[in-house]
Amino acid sequence: MTAAPATAVLDRDGLDALVGVLRAQGRTVVGPTVRDGAVVLAEIASADALPFGWGTEVEAGRYRLVPRTDGAAFAHTTGPQSWKAFLHPERERLWSADRRADGRLSVAAERPQRPSYAFLGVRPCDLRAIAVQDRVLATGRHRDRGYQERRTGAFLIAAECTEPGATCFCVSMGGGPAAEAGYDLALTELVDETGHRFFVRVGSDAGREVLSGVPGRPAGPGTESAARAAVDAARERMGRAMPPVDLRTLMGDSLEADRWDDVAARCLTCGNCTMVCPTCFCTTTEEVTDLTGDHAERWQRWDSCFDLDFSYLHGGPVRASARSRYRQWLTHKLSTWYDQFGSSGCVGCGRCVTWCPVGIDITEEAAALHDELAARLRRQDEREEREP
């Protein structure tokens, strides 16, 4: 088998062959597909399952699937799921216990056969989110064994963004529409007068090996420059942006801001933002039994800091108000996450904006906090100037 070059061009048949090679390796291939009026992530058997000819229109609290005339497969924005649904699933059994005939308990840890994943169509913001979750769940003192097992050997195929959505703001969070690191292969989809094709870049030895088994053609300078231009143009068309300030400092200086009351009056504390967020990782555990009491199980499931019981201590919850719970989420995401994990917890994917039932916009809230802080500091300076 001839070693693959660092770049190549695939057509639609080549993309299907890529899926076939990954499946032949015994991998479970997961990619975007259309279901129930949205682009969702699911196991796919061929490239035909990808959302060719479908795009999306998004705004705060709004998501619509719309047909496209160019047949593009990756011209949609991020949907309601992220890849954490597979790497850090919403519900997982940890152990089970049974009462034996002699009355003693038999406890067995859950050790299922983990799939070997190949993720096709990972957006650059989600590549960064996976890297964040790697730091949270796969390193340090409190590692999640299930996450580690699912993440180990997962094959990541990025799909660079050429059409950002109205709720995207990855550039202002230090990312961008280009895949910079963390991928095995990176695709840039091009649909122009030259045809429909996918410019492929190799990002790892595993990616080079897989690409060597896929029929393609060399990438000429025209295709490569067209791919770079399409991604660079997307960088200038972000639908939203965070205010260009130190968000970590802003959050720390705004703990008593009046704006928290404003957002609390609109927030339903439903937790949608944490469920769709690709980096939120909080879980809780619960025990369940059968009616006889002879069988019990412990399950780990996603939890949310918007849940009233999330901060429950003896005597009641620490954060009883919507104001305190929204403030906890936003300040952790944009500020105190640095203290724990060395980076922001936000990658600018915009899911929390799109899927908020009342359209609360994280970028708008950050800008409002900045404006309120600036006004407070101006008033303080004016008072100091008037004092003798």
Q: What is the pLDDT of residues 184-224, one digit of tens each?
A: 999 999 999 889 999 999 999 999 999 999 999 998 889 99
Share of the chain above pLDDT 90, in %: 87
pLDDT value of residue 4: 60
Residue 245 one-letter amino acid: V
- pLDDT value of residue 3: 57
pLDDT higher than 70, residue 56: yes
Closest listed residue to residue 248, CA positions, set 327, 174, 337:
337
The predicted pLDDT at position 381 comes to: 81
Q: For the residues 155-176, what does the mean pLDDT come to?
A: 96
pLDDT tens sequence across 343-358: 999 999 999 999 999 9
Q: Would you state the structure tokens that stand for residue 357, as one six-digit string? A: 């039932």
Q: Using CA atoms, how far apart are residues 219 and 161, in angstroms rounded to an integer?
A: 19
Residue 2 has pLDDT above 60, yes or no: no
- Please, which residues have CB within 8 angstroms of residue 339's CB and are 6 or more apart in sequence? none
Give the span between the Cα atoms of 117 and 110, in whole angstroms: 20
Six-digit token pair at 50? 């990808």
DSSP assignment of 90-147? SEEEEEEEEE-TTS-EEEEE-------EEEEEE-HHHHHHHHHHHHHHSSSSS--HHH
- Which band of pLDDT confidence, cut at 50, 70 and 90, is reported for residue 380? confident
The partner residues of 10 in beta bridges, in order of sequence, read 198
What local confidence, expressed as pLDDT, does residue 1 receive? 44
Category of 87 on φ-ψ map: left (φ > 0), alpha (ψ -120 to 50) or beta: alpha
SS3 220: coil
Share of the chain above pLDDT 70, in %: 98
Average pLDDT over residues 229-235: 96
C-alpha–C-alpha distance, residues 283 and 310, integer Å: 10
Which band of pLDDT confidence, cut at 50, 70 and 90, is reported for residue 388?
low
